[in-house]
Each structure stands twice: as structure tokens, then as C-alpha cells.
Structure 1
Amino acid sequence: MTAAVTTPRGARPKNPFAPRNIMLYGALIIFSIYYLLPLYVMLVTSLKDMAEIRVGNIFSPPVEITFQPWVKAWSEACTGINCDGLSRGFGNSVRILIPSLILSVSVAALTGYVLACWRFRGSEVFFGILLLGAFIPYQVLLYPLVIILREMGLFGSLWGLVLVHTVFAMPINVLLFRNYFVALPEELFKAARVDGAGFWGIFFRIVIPMSLPIFVVSGIIQVTGIWNDFLFGVVYTRPENYPMTVQLNNIVNSVQGVKEYNVNMAATMLTGLVPLAVYFFSGRLFVRGIAAGAVKG
């Protein structure tokens, strides 16, 4: 009696050195190097002194690491008549970011919830008009907003800039929240209404607990946009209220004295640390939010 022939079970092992994999990972490595190379140059330049920088090899690591450029960029670099570095701009950026983030995300989430779950007559028209704002160039509205903020007594203040960021965040953030909430099971809302939950009960007890990924998506978009903003900061605030990006521009583009490339690179790295940290700690939730329907119509 012949023994039964057994065959291996499961998926066939993939060849890691297949031509397709080599091309795929090779392209990813090349693109990664392309995007990381400027960051590497900035980092190593910020850790060198000017004598080593003048040698001219920008890709070589520092022979002797120094953190003096970072100290000077933070607390000693001059921006006009002030020589307190980026520290004052950092404080202003934080005071702009926190209320702008809370207001824009809260209002957009509530508006998206209304448009998705409590539709009213003309809601689609309202939604279309709101989306139209996403396609209006910022430059067209700069001067009218100056007039509006001046009449409100907010021009030049941090709260005026907070209001501008909140308003300009509405189109894209409402789109994100509305499309995410539309994808939630409608049976949950019907069951909640049967149990006596109203507008706010459904929002706080059902919608928000199920929507952490899209809140992270919206938060990352807002943090990046607000923290990296230069145009609104330089137009709608006064020098004492300039955000960190405007301070960075004043340091890098200073025409007085010796051009200190190590200080400029350190200042640039310091300015970008907050968005980098947000992406590093929230990257997975960002991908989940996008994949769960953030960009679905």
C-alpha cells in the first residue's frame, strides 16, 4: 500500500529578491534618501562651527560637535532690534496654535456632524458653498480680512490671527468630518434616538468615541498648517506677536554681519521640531483616519 503524498500547506513563500521587490524597495530607498538628505545636511551643519563649515564639505559629519549654534538660534540670534532668538516666537506660536486648533477642530467636527446626521433644507447647498471656500486663493482675501479685523479691533493681535486660522480651516476640515461621519452605521443613531439620546447626547457619547482617527487627521493638518504658516503671521500680527516662522525668516534673511549658516540651520530645525514630533507620535492614527473614509465622498 503506497503512502499518501503530503503537500505543504499555506501560502507559497515569497522570494524577497524577485525583480518586482527589488524595483519596489530600490525606488523607496532612493526616494527616502532624496527626502532625508536635506535633513541630514541641516543637522550636521547645525552641529559644526563656522571654521569647519568654510572648508566646504557639507556632507561630512562634524569633526567636533558643538551645540552653540542651537543655543544662539534659540536665545541670542537677532531679529531686527530684538536679540532673543526664536524663544519669543515659539511662545507666540504656541499661544496661536492651541486656541486655533481647539476652535477649528471643534467647530468643524460639529458642522460635519450636523451635515452628515441632522440634515436640514439647504444643507447640501451650504456644504457646497463651504467647499467653494477651499478653492479661493488666500491672497484674494488678505486685504478684506485686514479691514474686517481692524473694524473688530483684533488686527495685530494673537486672537485676530487665531480667528483667521479658524475660518480658513473650515472647508477642508468640515469635508473630512462630514465624510467620516456619513460612513458611520446609521443604525447606531436610530438606536440612540430610541433610547432617548438627543443631538448632544449622540455627538458626545457615540460620534466622538468612534472618531478618534479623524480627529487625529484633522489635528495633524491643523498643527502643520498653523505652525508652518508665514503669510498670515506676517500680515495680521505686529512684530511683538510674530510667530516662530516669521522670526525664522528674520534670522535667516538678516543682511547684517557674518552669515552664520550653522545658526540658520539650527533655527530651521528648531522651528520644524513640533510638526515632526506630531507626525512621529500620531502617524499610525493619521493613516487609519484617511483609510477609514476621510477622503471618501
Structure 2
Amino acid sequence: MDNVIRRRTPRARLLRAGLYALLIAAALVYLLPLVVMVLTSVKPIEEIRAGALLSLPSHFTLDPWIKAWSSACTGMRCDGLSGYFVNSIKIVVPAVAISTLVGAINGYALTKWRFRGSELVFAMLLFGCFVPFQVVLMPMARTLGWLGLASSVSGLVLVHVVYGIAFTTLFFRNYYVAVPDEMINAAKLDGAGFFRIFWRILLPVSGPIITVSVIWQFTQIWNDFLFGVAFAGFDSQPVTVALNNMVNTSTGVKEYNVDMAAAMIAALPTLVVYVLAGKYFVRGLTAGSVKG
């Protein structure tokens, strides 16, 4: 094999170099908006107004980041993201944990403990993956009001759990199909019950698909705007709604550096998740793609 690699023809080397050049060029094109955002966020507003969009900052400053993070909110205008960033964390953490756990149990029940109508239940959950967000706004608002959870962080957690269960169930169901039924049957013969099999056998081998579910749910919930603006009160708004309020304000001087810093702050968690765990996301998606 090593000899084959060493004897690669000049044409193959040229094609390989061209492929790398194309990939690098595509990466630079996709990274250009991010570069512009970062450069703009560390420039004084006077330098931005001079039209130096892609140039390095003459006077580096973190004041826009500080202002975007810690300024106060008055009326309907949001000038700082710190409190709303915390709101998003309060929404994301329990919603991801609950939807992932419920999806795992559902996937386990639908594959290893089949019951009458299980296929219909799975078809209904699968259908839920394709229901547009806008369709559930009115019935969900009435449900939250009936439960006393309207305009609260707990209400948003419930909304994201309900909407995320369909996706997490699909992930875990497809993954658990590849787990040999003989393992489950042997555990049943030894007297293990439903939850004992789940905790002792299925969950320990579910690392890849748990990673997929967590990354998927985290990015979907953190980047959500529609549910946040529809169901949150002023004090329970997620960071995406606060960012929209900040960027779209029509009063005072437009501070593009603060807007870009705020956008970077709001996007940092999802960027970090994908940079650190992106490869595990792909591995998890393919781990249950082949049975056996």
C-alpha cells in the first residue's frame, strides 16, 4: 500500500492539489462573513464609517463586546445580552436533556418492545417532524395558557421538548434497530425488566446517537427565534429575540460594531459545539445506518 502511495502519478497529484485548492477556496468564501463580523466588532464606530470593511482595525477595542454583553434593557429596546444569554441556557439545558431521554425511551420501546399499534405511533411521530412551526403556534399558545406557563422559561422548555421528541425518537429508533435482538431477549430470560434493560444494556451503547441528539437539539433550540418571540415574556426572552431587538432598533446612532459583537456572542455556543463535536455528529448519524 505504501508503495502505491509513493508511486502516485503526476496527474493524480495535480488532481489532488486542485481538489484541496477548491476546498480551501470554498472555505474562504464561507468564512468571509464571519471574518467581516469579527473585524467589525473590534473596530471603533468612526473607523467603520470610513468604509474600511475588510481592513484590520487601526485601533483594536473590545468596548463593543462589553456594551453588547452588559448594557441594560429599557422598554422594548434590548441593549445587552447577558440576561437573555442566561435565559437561553435555562431553556436549552433542560429541554435537550428531557427530549433526549424521552426520545431514547421511545426509540427503545418502538424497536425492542413492540406493541399493538407501535408502527402507527412511530408514523405519527415521524409526521411530527414535518409539521411547520407556524402550525402549532395557536394551539401551543392556548395549551401554555391553560397550564399557566405562558410567557415563562418553563413554557419555552415545554414547547421545545414537545417539538423535539419527534426528532429524537427518530434518531434513537433508527439507531436501536441495529442492536441485536438476541441481547434483549437474553436479558428478558434473565428476568430483566423494561427499564433495567434500557439502563444497563441500551443506554451504555448509545453514546454516538446521544451526541447526535444533543447537538441537533442544542443548535435547534439555541437558534430558535419564532417560539421565543411568540411564547416568551419580556423577562424570559432567549438571546435570539434580544439580538433581534438590539439590531433592529430605530432610535439613536446605529452602532454596527456593537451589533456584530452581539451577533457573535449569540452564535458562539453553536459555533463551539460544532467545532468541538462536529465529527462525532457525523459518526453518530452513520453508526446506526447499517443493521448487524
Q: TM-score, normalised to structure 2's length?
A: 0.93
Of structures 1 and 2, the larger Rg is shown by 1
8 Å CA contact 1:78–1:251 kept in 2: the answer is no
Give the whole-Å Cα distance in 1 for the aligned partners of 2:127 and 2:18. 41
Give the whole-Å Cα distance in 1 for the aligned partners of 2:187 and 2:276. 34
- List runs of 5+ in structure 1 lacking aligned partners: 1-7
8 Å CA contact 1:105–1:219 kept in 2: the answer is yes
Further displaced range: 286-295 or 129-138: 286-295
- List runs of 5+ in structure 2 lacking aligned partners: none
Matched to 1:34, the amino acid is V
TM-superposed CA distance for 1:10, in Å, is 4.5
Q: For residues 84-163 of structure 1, what are the structure 2 equivalents within 5 Å?
A: 85-163=80-158
Counterpart in 1 of 2:274? 279
TM-superposed CA distance for 1:283, in Å, is 2.0
Matched to 2:4, the amino acid is A
Counterpart in 2 of 1:210? 205
Q: For residues 74-93 of structure 1, what are the structure 2 equivalents within 5 Å?
A: 74-76=69-71, 78=73, 80=75, 85-93=80-88
For the residue of structure 2 that corresponds to 1:63, the secondary structure is coil
Q: For residues 1-297 of structure 1, what are the structure 2 equivalents within 5 Å?
A: 10-13=3-6, 14=8, 18-76=13-71, 78=73, 80=75, 85-293=80-288
Matched to 1:212, the amino acid is G
Deviations 1:125-144 (A, max 9, x none): 11001111111211111111
TM-superposed CA distance for 1:99, in Å, is 1.1
Cα pair distance change 1:51/1:134, threshold 3 Å: same
8 Å CA contact 2:79–2:246 kept in 1: the answer is no
TM-superposed CA distance for 1:82, in Å, is 6.1
Deviations 1:170-221 (A, max 9, x none): 2221111000000112222223223332211111111111110100100001
Deviations 1:218-257 (A, max 9, x none): 0001110111111000100111111100000011001111
For the residue of structure 1 that corresponds to 2:106, the secondary structure is helix
Cα pair distance change 1:242/1:12, threshold 3 Å: closer
TM-superposed CA distance for 1:79, in Å, is 5.9
Matched to 1:164, the amino acid is V
Matched to 1:177, the amino acid is F
User: Deviation above 4 Å: which 4+ runs of structure 1?
Assistant: 81-84
Cα pair distance change 1:80/1:40, threshold 3 Å: farther
Give the whole-Å Cα distance in 1 for the aligned partners of 2:141 and 2:22. 47
Cα pair distance change 1:254/1:78, threshold 3 Å: farther
For the residue of structure 1 that corresponds to 2:53, the secondary structure is coil
Give the whole-Å Cα distance in 2 for the aligned partners of 1:42 and 1:162. 31
TM-superposed CA distance for 1:64, in Å, is 1.8
Give the whole-Å Cα distance in 1 for the aligned partners of 2:2 and 2:208. 37
Identity of aligned residues (%): 51
Give the whole-Å Cα distance in 1 for the aligned partners of 2:32 and 2:263. 15
8 Å CA contact 1:77–1:84 kept in 2: the answer is yes
TM-superposed CA distance for 1:81, in Å, is 5.2
Give the whole-Å Cα distance in 2 for the aligned partners of 1:295 and 1:188. 17
Give the whole-Å Cα distance in 1 for the aligned partners of 2:235 and 2:106. 34
TM-superposed CA distance for 1:113, in Å, is 0.7
Further displaced range: 17-26 or 182-191: 17-26
Cα pair distance change 1:47/1:295, threshold 3 Å: farther
For the residue of structure 2 that corresponds to 1:208, the secondary structure is helix
Q: TM-score, normalised to structure 1's length?
A: 0.92
Deviations 1:42-83 (A, max 9, x none): 001100001111111211111121000000000116464566
For the residue of structure 2 that corresponds to 1:11, the secondary structure is helix
Give the whole-Å Cα distance in 2 for the aligned partners of 1:264 and 1:9. 53
Matched to 2:112, the amino acid is C
Cα pair distance change 1:194/1:15, threshold 3 Å: farther
Give the aligned length: 289
Deviations 1:76-134 (A, max 9, x none): 16464566600110111111111111111111111011001111111011100111111
